[in-house]
Chain A
Amino acid sequence: MPRPAGTLPTQFAELAPDAWTLPFWHAAREHRLVAPKCTSCGTFRFPPGPFCHECQHQQVDLVELPGTGTVFTYTVARHAVVPELAGVVPYVIAAIEVDGAPGVRMIANVVECDPDAVSIGSRVSVLWDDASDEVTIPRFRLAS
């Protein structure tokens, strides 16, 4: 699969996962959007981490999400903060409230659209970016 238009160079998709985040990235590799849910009290935590912030329990179920969501807030990055991004700007960075995981916002690009078409409240759906042989990053696009 070719990468979605306007995505960042592969070098920015080099990851440093730990034992708690690795399952998220393994699922992403399989094009499944997941979020960890506390097995004790049912609270979602994000990014994935070692403790529930409500009950301090450790174990989680990885819940598969529908892959849709709503833009909670966003910015349009128009300035290349490093030279490698000169060909990428402008791009949209959003905090997306993902459906099926109350309280979880994922930071992601909204791609394949005019940046000015994005607003708070926009409905979006996931689009998988196989950025390298090892790493897949979830991007989003405006829901049709």
Chain B
Amino acid sequence: MKDKTAIVGVGSTPYYKRGESLPQTPIEMACKAILAACDDAGLSVKDVDGFAYYSGGFDTALIAQILGIPEVRFTATTTGGGGGAAGSVGLAAAAVVSGHAEVVVSLMTLQQTPNARLGAAFASKSPGAYSRPATSEADFAVPSGLFAPGQMFAMLAQRHMHLYGTRREAFAEVAISTRENAIKRPTSRFTESLTLDQYFAARMVSDPLCLYDYTQENDGACAVITISAERARDLRKPPAYIVSGGHGGAGRWGQAISWMNMPEEYFASSGHRPIARDVYARAGVTPDDIDVALLYDHFTPMVIMQLEDYGFAPIGEGGPFVEGGNIRLGGKIPVNTHGGNLSEAYIIGMTHVREAVEQLRGEAVNQVKDCEFALVTGGPASIPVSALILRRG
């Protein structure tokens, strides 16, 4: 699959505070993002013939009839949730390489109305888009009030601090450096500086995570278009070649944060180690070759664990690595130069793919010099977690 496909178009709606995208519908926003991505690529929406999603996917039937897609030849979704963000593009590449479809859209559209907020994912039995059915497995978490992703990842962060001496100052540096990147982007939701004093004065939400360790909650849509490398050369913008992709994880990582019985060896990790091994091997590159890392940042400690799992820092040393300024623009490995989920917008990781493409085209707001290889991740989450390595065209 190496270098046989490319991302040729990216498109987004504005990013909104949660609930403020009304009266648009989520599908309307999806269609706007798809049209914008087609325009960016120099393609017609009539060229689209495939859809590759994650996190539950969307109603291709409805999108196709609304947009007048001539024929749908591929429509599929990775299992799981936000862990498949980068993986959805890998799925699109697989569809193109296998000959199922030629122009494949991956997208996220999100509208967090009061009954459909991700933060209370396991708490609600009310009929919202994100309420979860009662299951025999959830019986071992819900009666203890373990509902929210933040609480779950807090338990991994606590273990990481215990094992390695990771400090809250490191979490703060992830929040602050990401905010610094967001400040310069007109698309960002949060554009005011964040200081260390403000970080430590913020309320604790779920120890050891305070308010600034959490992603924001947003509405909006973001779409990307994958086609063959051959066809990509003739389009409007330079292609971002898909060098490698992967999604999955260790079987006993399993449901991870909602069961807490992962092996001790990688409990305090992002669950990404098998994916990291695979995407580097398939691409024939090492962490030293990566120029920018767009790491899914729903919670600050999980950025640190991904830096370890992707080999930018030794296991257990992600905290000091971050505190040393290494993830800032101009540092050893600039991370989330768009402002991430934390400060630009939380569209469940699809903005990370968009930023990787903009970096490789040389059109990013916080441009990394001579950016040749970009790493994009989805998750940490239950299986699958996912990643992509993209190369400048």
Q: Which residues of A contact B (CB under 8 A)?
A: 8, 12-18, 20-21, 25, 46-47, 53, 72-79, 81-82, 85, 88, 91, 93, 95, 103-109, 120, 131, 135, 137
Contact = CB atoms under 8 A, between A and B. Distances in A.
B67 interface: no
B169 to A, nearest CB: 19
Nearest to B153: A75
A77 B156 contact: no
B259 to A, nearest CB: 7
Contacts, number: 110
A21 B139 contact: yes
Nearest to B120: A81
Contacts of B206: 75-79
A17 B252 contact: no
B135 A73 contact: no
A33 to B, nearest CB: 13
A-B residue pairs, 10 tightest by C-beta: A16-B134, A75-B154, A18-B136, A76-B207, A73-B159, A95-B260, A81-B120, A82-B123, A120-B162, A21-B136
Interface in B113-148: 119-120, 123-124, 133-148
B145 A85 contact: yes
Contact of A78 (B138, B144, B158, B205): B205
Contact of B259 (A47, A72, A74): A47
Nearest to A116: B207
8 contacts: A8-B144, A47-B140, A75-B154, A77-B151, A78-B203, A78-B206, A81-B151, A105-B260
A35 B133 CA distance: 25
A16 B134 CA distance: 6
Given A46-B261, A79-B205, A105-B261, A8 B143 contact: yes
Given A12-B142, A13-B143, A91-B145, A107 B260 contact: yes
B120 A82 contact: yes
Given A76-B204, A93-B145, A93-B146, A16 B135 contact: yes
A12 B143 contact: yes
Interface residues of B, number: 39
Contacts of A135: 143
B100 to A, nearest CB: 34
Contacts of B94: none
A90 to B, nearest CB: 9
Contacts of B140: 21, 46-47, 106-107
Given A77-B206, A109-B145, 14 more contacts: A8-B143, A12-B143, A16-B138, A18-B136, A47-B136, A72-B159, A73-B155, A73-B159, A75-B158, A77-B148, A78-B205, A79-B203, A107-B259, A120-B162
Interface of B: 119-120, 123-124, 133-148, 151, 154-156, 158-159, 162, 203-209, 252, 259-261, 267
A95 to B, nearest CB: 4
Contacts of B252: 53
A21 B144 CA distance: 16
B144 A107 contact: yes
B122 to A, nearest CB: 9
A104 B203 CA distance: 33
B159 A120 contact: yes
Contacts of B148: 77, 81
Contact of B145 (A15, A88, A131): A88
A131 B147 contact: no
A21 B204 CA distance: 35
Contacts of B124: 82
A74 B261 contact: no
Nearest to B262: A105
B143 A104 contact: no
Contacts of A103: 261
A70 B361 CA distance: 52
B203 to A, nearest CB: 7
B145 A20 contact: no
Contacts of B147: 81-82
A1 to B, nearest CB: 17
A86 to B, nearest CB: 12
A20 B143 contact: no
B155 A93 contact: yes
Nearest to B158: A73
Contacts of B267: 72-73
Contact of B207 (A8, A17, A25, A75): A75
Contacts of A131: 143
A112 B259 CA distance: 24
A109 B145 CA distance: 8
